[in-house]
Chains A and B, each alone.
Chain A
Amino acid sequence: MSREYGPKSQLRLAVLWPPFLVSGVATVLAFVMFDPLPLLANTDLAALSRLQADSIGLFWFWLITTASSWLTCCFQRPPGQREHTAVNA
């Protein structure tokens, strides 16, 4: 039952996992502070229950934080290295 861990899976983990942790905390803080129902009352999402709104909020936060994480991973590579690896690949 051994698994292979390549750089790809490392990257996926680094892009998805820390954002999930952070968005978990962010969701709790945000929805304890703001009630989603009045905020959504005049929008298309007015029919959502609180639990649904909270859950969607979690995924929304996750999406945003993942974007940030992904950019970090992109910037982490020193400039010019892209061409370098492309040549070597």
Chain B
Amino acid sequence: MTSSIEHFEQALYAKREKIFPRQVHGLFARWRLLGVIVLMGIYYGLPWVTLGDRQAVLFDLPARKFYIFGLTFWPQDFIYLTSLLIIAALALFFFTALAGRLWCGYACPQTVWTEVFLWIERKVEGNRAQQMKLDKSPWTARKLLIRGTKHFLWIALSLWTGYTFVGYFTPIREFGLAVLNLSTGPWETFWLIFYGFATYGNAGWLREQVCIYMCPYARFQSAMFDKDTLIISYDADRGEPRGSRKRGIDPKSAGLGDCIDCTLCVQVCPTGIDIRNGLQYECIGCSACVDACDEVMDKMEYSRGLVRYTTENALEGRPAHVLRPRVLIYATILVGLLGAVGYSIASRVPIGLDVIRDRNALYRETAEGLVENVYTLKLINMDDHHHRFRLSASGLEDLTLKLDHESIEVPAGQVREFSARLQIDPVDLKKASNEVFFELEAINNVALKVRESARFLGPTGSR
């Protein structure tokens, strides 16, 4: 029992062989390059975009306001954040069921940054063979210089990445000046270094180990797989028996399959596995092996696709089903949620009203014999304009609203508190606890209207 556990653990956490992925060219490599350029462009570029007089995308944590282009979100808009997370999770399920680990291969920050770090490595150290030679060679001045240059470039990029990250939470231009003056705040400094260090460690050193040991998605993605999910697979029926051969020899007459056993598919694999051993959970679906093998097949003048995107059903010669219940269900929920969120953002009213009943007294009787309840109203103007408001109360007959202020005004992006009193003749009161409504309406814009319910308490029962 113990020995089998030990064996298992050793297999899982074997001594790591350093992987030197070989560069690939081909259709999917171009797609990935496109993904890298677009995603990196967005990440590094977005904080520099300004809209009017402020940063277009800024998550201002200290002020608890979130600017996303023309929209300003407040903590009151919490529901959108929740929906966003749910939509993101559903989208991941949907694409995983449909196309396997598409996310891992093309869009995951881990892949994208590793790709950039690999590019730097290749520029500085040369191709795979040169990198391996350098790795084995003793520490000479030349090796020190080459390695030093690589790490300097990596660290510079990482720090820029950390700087950009902080730039999403604090205005990036001012933060840049603060960095130049060495006058950044302690938390900003912490996050800059933390995020920079994480980038350097994950993309420079850990690489495929992040995918294999640390990524939660890698662990649960198989639950969304079925026999119609797109996977990358080696066509063993066609490839085996593998073996090297001269060009131009008919493999059949030599008793061979199409795989020439060149191991290029293994050399390009960023996770260091052999796709010919079947689908493995280390495979991030990056399709580097597809590109590599297609190139070999072209050279041998065999048809492409010995390693290819396919499905388990297709490999077994069964018909493929793209539209299956799982995919349809994910798609329906996804579209429904997207529609609902889109509609609600489009019709969102950028004012808010919180009603808090005075906790000190249930109710009061005025000198005139009326029952009175006191409330504190919190008015939130999430709009970019100053507004004057009209307030009214309803829900009970002959309810009167008394305000201490003549006019209710809230400047753009501000919160104001007002106290309000509701009065009623006890004759009109049927119950001890009644629902009443406060209605807030902007005077210069009738579309800005909200209604909030509250409780009105009085003496038990009617008299």
Near B by CB (< 8 A), chain A positions 1-30 give: 1-7, 9-10, 13, 17-18, 21, 25, 28-29
Contacts of B1 in A (CB 8 A): 84
Contacts of B62 in A (CB 8 A): 49-51
Task: Please tell me if the beta carbons of A6 and B13 are within 8 angstroms of each other in the complex.
Answer: yes
Task: Please tell me if the beta carbons of B16 and A7 are within 8 angstroms of each other in the complex.
Answer: no
By beta carbon, the residue of chain B nearest A14 is: B213
Contacts of A34 in B (CB 8 A): 75
In whole angstroms, what is the CA distance A4 to B209 when docked? 12
B216 at the interface (CB under 8 A from A): yes
Task: Please tell me if the beta carbons of B187 and A2 are within 8 angstroms of each other in the complex.
Answer: no
Number of contacting residues on A, CB 8 A? 30
Main DSSP-derived SS at the A contact region: helix
Task: Please tell me if the beta carbons of B81 and A28 are within 8 angstroms of each other in the complex.
Answer: yes
Task: Please tell me if the beta carbons of A33 and B16 are within 8 angstroms of each other in the complex.
Answer: no
Task: Please tell me if the beta carbons of B9 and A10 are within 8 angstroms of each other in the complex.
Answer: yes
B85 at the interface (CB under 8 A from A): yes
In whole angstroms, what is the CA distance A29 to B85 when docked? 10
Task: Mark interface residues in A30-41 (1 if CB within 8 Å of B CB, else 0).
Answer: 011111000000
Task: Please tell me if the beta carbons of B216 and A10 are within 8 angstroms of each other in the complex.
Answer: no
In whole angstroms, what is the CA distance A52 to B16 when docked? 39
Contacts of B213 in A (CB 8 A): 5, 10, 13
Task: Please tell me if the beta carbons of B12 and A10 are within 8 angstroms of each other in the complex.
Answer: yes
Q: How far is the CB of A62 from chain B (nearest CB, A)?
A: 14
Q: How far is the CB of A22 from chain B (nearest CB, A)?
A: 9
Task: Please tell me if the beta carbons of B82 and A13 are within 8 angstroms of each other in the complex.
Answer: no
Task: Please tell me if the beta carbons of A4 and B15 are within 8 angstroms of each other in the complex.
Answer: yes
A5 in contact with B16 given A10-B9, A52-B187 (CB within 8 Å): yes
B447 at the interface (CB under 8 A from A): no
By beta carbon, the residue of chain A nearest B214 is: A17
Question: Can you offer 17 A-B residue contacts whose CB atoms are under 8 A?
Answer: A1-B18, A1-B135, A2-B16, A3-B16, A5-B12, A5-B14, A5-B213, A10-B12, A10-B13, A21-B216, A25-B85, A29-B85, A34-B75, A35-B75, A50-B61, A51-B61, A54-B61
